[in-house]
């Protein structure tokens, strides 16, 4: 398949703005977002400081952004990008189930996830996973625990319920969890630490201990160093110049992932600049 001119990772205000700008410049644009609506935007009940639209809800704003992107001809895919690399001048971008190819990339993944749980880092790949679709089969017939900050985690847990002996699910978002498979055991409280040294052996929560061999984490964003290890960060955010260029040629970044202020107007503006810089890059 023809590579995309511009691939945008993240479907919040920054990503959608970049994608619309790319289309306005007549480029082939793919936007891959983990959620249909950005979790951040979904949580903003009432936005009073966005110019021209006082009082709008984050959900309504998100719907307007998305409709605009669709009307401009942006191709939208729901997927979570795991990592990306450069190969013969093109970016190979790995989703959970598909590989995408693009000439330029705009990273618009929202505020970087910095906090990890005690034991998490040491046990990545030794029982800790960020992707049930990718790693679920390793846990066939075993007991697993899913910690999810997003409603999307319910789909991942349901997938695991078909494979695993027992699935515990701890949601860290409000809801009724009606989408959960009845075989899944809903858990409350907070995770205190992950147990085990060479391999995960269990999870300690404020409600008790669970002996499991797999621990899946569904967060709004992956740690940036897992997405693209060569990307230069500054205080945990992607370092960009005023053209939203990162240290890697062809890779741009916009929105909360580049630092404060964490605001919609800033995200939309940076998305626009990032896409224009990508268009300039394509012309060189
Ligand atoms: C409760 C609340 C109220 C707020 N109120 C206001 C307000 O009144 N005014 C204001 O200006 N701002 C407000 N904000 C802040 C505003 O929502 C954010 O600044 C804005 O959403 C940032 O846009 P973004 O596109 O950079 O990131 P986000 O909106 O966070 O979008 C990033 C998207 O990228 C996706 N993503 C992450 N990693 C990947 C990956 N690997 N693959 C694919 N997709 C990925 C995420 O799931 C997410 O959907 C509020 C935020 C909250 C939480």
Last residue of a domain, one of 218, 236, 267: 218
Last residue of a domain, one of 166, 190, 218: 218
Q: Please give the tally of structural domains in the chain.
A: 2
Count of Cβ atoms closer than 10 Å to residue 86 Cβ: 15
The finding on whether 10 has its CB within 6 A of some atom of ligand 1 is: yes
Let me know whether 105 and 23 are in one domain.
yes
Angle at 14 between CA 13 and CA 15, to 5 degrees: 95
To test the ligand 1 pocket, which listed residue (9, 38, 106) has its Cβ within 8 A of the most ligand atoms?
38
Q: Could you tell me the residue range of the domain that residue 73 belongs to?
A: 4-113+222-283
For residue 207, give the 3-state DSSP assignment.
coil
Ligand 1 atom nearest 111 alpha carbon? 30
Q: What is the CATH number of the domain that holds 89?
A: 3.50.50.60
- Measured in residues, the chain has a length of 284
Let me know whether 195 and 227 are in one domain.
no
Token pair listed for 134: 């990718």
The finding on whether 170 has its CB within 6 A of some atom of ligand 1 is: no
Contact assessment for residue 16 and residue 68, using Cβ atoms and an 8 Å cutoff = yes
Let me know whether 227 and 279 are in one domain.
yes
What's the order of all strands across the beta sheet hosting 143-148?
128-129, 214-218, 143-148, 166-171, 185-186
The finding on whether 106 has its CB within 6 A of some atom of ligand 1 is: no
* 284 residues of the chain, pLDDT tens digit each: 799 999 999 999 999 999 999 999 999 999 999 987 788 888 888 999 999 999 999 999 999 999 999 999 999 999 999 999 999 999 999 998 899 999 999 999 998 876 679 999 889 889 999 888 878 999 999 999 999 988 889 999 999 999 999 999 999 988 889 889 999 999 999 999 999 999 999 999 999 999 999 999 988 777 787 889 899 999 889 999 999 999 999 999 999 999 999 999 999 999 999 999 999 999 99
The finding on whether 250 has its CB within 6 A of some atom of ligand 1 is: no
């Amino acid at each position: 398949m023809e590579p995309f001119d511009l691939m945008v990772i993240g479907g919040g205000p920054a990503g959608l703005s970049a994608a619309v700008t790319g289309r306005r410049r007549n480029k082939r644009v793919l936007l891959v977002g983990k959620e249909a609506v950005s979790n951040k935007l979904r949580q903003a009940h009432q936005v009073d400081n966005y110019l021209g639209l006082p009082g709008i809800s984050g959900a309504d704003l998100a719907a307007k952004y998305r409709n605009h992107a669709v009307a401009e001809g942006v191709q939208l895919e729901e997927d979570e990008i795991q990592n990306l690399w450069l190969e013969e001048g093109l970016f190979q971008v790995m989703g959970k189930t598909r590989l995408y190819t693009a000439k330029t990339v705009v990273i618009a993944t929202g505020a970087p996830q910095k906090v990890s749980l005690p034991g998490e880092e040491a046990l990545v790949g030794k029982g800790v996973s960020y992707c049930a679709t990718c790693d679920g089969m390793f846990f066939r017939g075993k007991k697993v625990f899913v910690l999810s900050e997003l409603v999307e985690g319910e789909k991942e847990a349901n997938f695991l319920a078909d494979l695993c002996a027992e699935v515990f699910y701890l949601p860290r978002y409000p809801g009724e969890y009606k989408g959960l498979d009845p075989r899944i055991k809903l858990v409350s409280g907070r995770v205190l630490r992950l147990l085990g040294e060479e391999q995960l052996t269990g999870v300690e929560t404020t409600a008790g201990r669970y002996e499991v061999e797999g621990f899946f984490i569904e967060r709004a964003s992956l740690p940036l160093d897992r997405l693209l290890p060569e990307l230069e960060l500054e205080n945990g955010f992607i370092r960009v110049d005023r053209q939203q260029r990162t240290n890697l040629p062809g890779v741009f970044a916009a929105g909360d992932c580049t630092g404060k202020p964490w605001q919609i107007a800033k995200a939309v503006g940076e998305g626009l600049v990032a896409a224009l810089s990508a268009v300039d890059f394509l012309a060189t």
